[in-house]
Amino acid sequence: MDNYGWLSILPPIIAIVLALRTKQVYIALLFGIWFSWVIINDWNFLTGTLSAIEGMVNVFKSEGNTRTIMFSALVGALLLFIQYSKGVEGFINQLNKVIAFFEKKQKGYSRVIVQLLALLTGILLFVETSISSLTVGTLYRPVFDKLKIPREKLAYIADSSSAPSSILIPFNAWGAFIMGLLVTQGLENPFGLMLSSIVYNFYPILAIAIVVIVIVSKKDIGPMAKAEKRTRETGKLLNDNSKPMLSSEVTSLAPKEGIKAKAYNMIIPLATMVFMMPINLVYTGWGNVTDAVSTSDHIFKAIGQGSGSSSVLYAVLTAILVAMVLYRSQKIMKTKEMIDLVLKGISELMPLALLMLLAFAIGDACNELGTGKFVAEWSKDWLSPEFLPAIIFIISSFIAFSTGTSWGTFAIMMAIAIPMAEVHQAPITLVIAATLGGGIFGDHCSPISDTSIISSMSSASDHIDHVNTQLPYALIGGVITIILYLILGFAL
């Protein structure tokens, strides 16, 4: 069958509903993958099951997928390193001084300052979403725990400051990827168009603004309000039945005895990982640039041509090597201890690596079904110019929600949204913004989004609890965005 029609959207929707209802995200994803391949194989359950198995194996045919899964596992080694070396303890000691300073001014104010610092850290790390959410969760989890801020709140801040900042400050692989998509549509001055669209990209702006309002006002809604009440009254950072993405071995590994706690034993490895990300993007993309007019132009274009998966993998490997040299020079650890910690860290993050594998596998299955293309094509014939930006936003959101990828959504929707804007004579920058914002919104809400998964992991939060507590805030931002696009659609 060439066109699976409405059947193409059933597996991802069922997987998402199952995950939210049962909290068994592994089983939900497995069922979604299996059901997809049963449909593809004309409802033959035997061949569908075998195809589902092969589909999971074929995830590793993609070098990018393999690198991302390796990155997810190796992060565990880095987390154990900075914990065991008392680097985390040293950082907390320094942050406690900041907390004490603000606590003297006004009781309870330190909770607000720490949350705002976490948000600011995530925004400043706009170069790559995985590193942004990973760093925020890792750095601030011990301090949030001490101040009795629920893990769900940390995951929300880490998630809401990663992709939104990367799309609003597009001097990274995101910006280069978007420019490449605009070039393929034959648009002149893609860089200018991309920058002009930022002012209309309402959802990422609102997502960050809502976090600030929630933190400063100290007012939460829905499941997040319940999480705050639970932590405030009982001291429990997680629900009783929750299953944090990180095991207690990673989050509460006892530091080595007899050594001094130094903040730089954590800051240097993490700063190395962050710093190496753009360097690796330039390195991996340098040879692919043929039309640069200057060195700065070559660097910017190289970032766009670079491999994001290679860059994050090389960055975490470099950070681990720097940590090894740093700790060995201080005689904190012997070589055997470090190797044991690397292996232990990898083993503890195997559940995360498995979850990433399943997320990639259901994405591949959705591609085979043509989920994104079906939704996009279905909407072509009944749109009017006034409603175009709002509808483009909704469709992009649905595709990203169903597939768990904003980049995949951009690739699908840009090829459809821009020609539709030209045919209907709709403002091109508004349509581009709606496509990008919709991809971020859908990805932000989706339990199979890799950014959401990494945010849950780094914050040691239950993944479904993170999705549930974040969803009301995301929906508020999404609804306001749709209203704004409807207003502008009629006004412009």
Q: For residue range 471-492, list pLDDT tens digits in order.
A: 999 999 999 999 999 999 888 6
Q: Which residue has the higher pLDDT, 68 or 435?
A: 435
Q: Which of 13-27, 220-234, 316-330 has the lowest mean pLDDT?
A: 13-27
The pLDDT value recorded for residue 471 is 94
In our burial notation (b when 16+ CB lie closer than 10 A, e otherwise), range 402-416 reads bbbbbbbbbbbbbeb
Residue 26 has pLDDT above 70, yes or no: yes
Inter-CA distances, 250 with 122, 139, 457, 465, Å: 22, 14, 11, 20
Residue 246 has pLDDT above 70, yes or no: no
The pLDDT value recorded for residue 358 is 81
The pLDDT value recorded for residue 3 is 62
The pLDDT value recorded for residue 75 is 77
Whether 3 is in a domain gets the answer no
Residue 247 has pLDDT above 60, yes or no: no
With cut-offs at 50, 70 and 90, classify the pLDDT of residue 353.
confident
The pLDDT value recorded for residue 71 is 78
In whole angstroms, what separates CA 351 from the centre of its chain?
17
pLDDT digits (tens, 9 = 90+) for 47-73: 999 999 999 998 888 787 788 778 777
The pLDDT value recorded for residue 355 is 72
Give the number of domains in the chain: 1
Whether 1 is in a domain gets the answer no
Residue 281 has pLDDT above 60, yes or no: yes
Q: Which of 72-76, 317-321, 415-419 has the lowest mean pLDDT?
A: 415-419
Q: Which domain does 433 fall in, by range?
A: 8-491
Residue 15 has pLDDT above 70, yes or no: yes
The pLDDT value recorded for residue 467 is 92
In our burial notation (b when 16+ CB lie closer than 10 A, e otherwise), range 14-47 reads ebbebbeeebebeebbbbbbbbbbbbbbeeeeee
Please give the sequence-ordered ranges of beta strands (E in DSSP) within 212-306, or none if there are none.
none
The pLDDT value recorded for residue 2 is 56
Average pLDDT, the chain: 83
pLDDT digits (tens, 9 = 90+) for 194-213: 888 999 999 999 999 999 99
pLDDT digits (tens, 9 = 90+) for 138-193: 888 888 888 899 999 999 999 999 889 989 987 666 776 677 677 767 777 677 78
Distance CA 244, CA 466 (A): 10
Whether 34 is in a domain gets the answer yes
Whether 116 is in a domain gets the answer yes
With cut-offs at 50, 70 and 90, classify the pLDDT of residue 321.
very high
The pLDDT value recorded for residue 248 is 55
Whether 244 is in a domain gets the answer yes
Phi (first) and psi of residue 220, to 5 degrees: -115, 160
Whether 187 is in a domain gets the answer yes
Helix, strand, coil content of the chain in percent (nearest 5): 80, 0, 20
Inter-CA distances, 293 with 199, 285, 305, 378, 388, Å: 29, 16, 16, 42, 37
Whether 152 is in a domain gets the answer yes
Whether 2 is in a domain gets the answer no
HSE-CB at 40 with a 13 A cutoff on CA atoms is 24
Inter-CA distances, 434 with 164, 257, 407, 483, Å: 13, 54, 14, 12
pTM for the structure as a whole? 0.72
